[in-house]
Amino acid sequence: MVVPWKTVCAVVLVLLGAGSAWQFQDWRYGRQLAEQARQHAETLNELTQAATTAQQVEQGKRLALEQRLAASEQTHFRKMTDAQRDQDRLRDRLATSDLRLSVLLDATDTAKGCGMPATAGAGGVDHAAVRARLDPAHAQRIIAITDTGDRGLIALQACQDYVRELQR
């Protein structure tokens, strides 16, 4: 059997050309893929650094907010404690008769049937004002009501301060 050497050589040359072209493409695409992988890694690194920086900024803001809220809470607690101490002192003074509550009466209002003289007593400090003393039990109830009101106002102010701090 006769082997056509020209055909065999042509086939071998074609195979070698195809193989070398394949190898060339592999090298070229390998370099391109490596470059893309490097750029991708750099991009991911930049994104990670940006995210880390943003996270640190947000943590700083959060820490500052927590510190402001803690200071506000301390102020609120101090005001609440001071109000409680003042109310307790006032309640004690009322209970020991060291202090008496009185109210001003309208001496000109005779329609209600309590016409009282408009002259001040010798020891009074109100200039011609008519005053009536309150029963100590009623005075205690009034003080309790004002205490609740004071606490409510302090709590409202604390809530408003909290909202203001959150909105900053």
Structure tokens at 5: 């050497």
Hey, what amino acid is at 31?
R
pTM: 0.53
Residue 118 has pLDDT above 80, yes or no: no
Indicate whether 99 pLDDT > 80: no
Provide the b/e sequence for 110-123 (b: ≥16 CB within 10 Å): eeeeeeeeeeeeee
Q: How far apart are CA 25 and CA 82, in angstroms?
A: 84
- Per-residue pLDDT tens digits for 56-80: 999 999 999 999 999 999 999 999 9
Looking at residue 113, its pLDDT comes to 54
φ, ψ dihedrals at 2, nearest 5°? -100, 130
Q: Would you say 128 and 118 are in contact if contact means Cβ atoms under 8 Å apart?
A: yes
How many CA atoms lie within 13 Å of 71's alpha carbon, on the beta-carbon side? 6
Q: Which amino acid does the sequence have at 129?
A: A
Interval 144-156: pLDDT, tens:
888 889 889 999 9
Answer for the pair 104, 129: CB distance below 8 angstroms, yes or no. Answer: yes
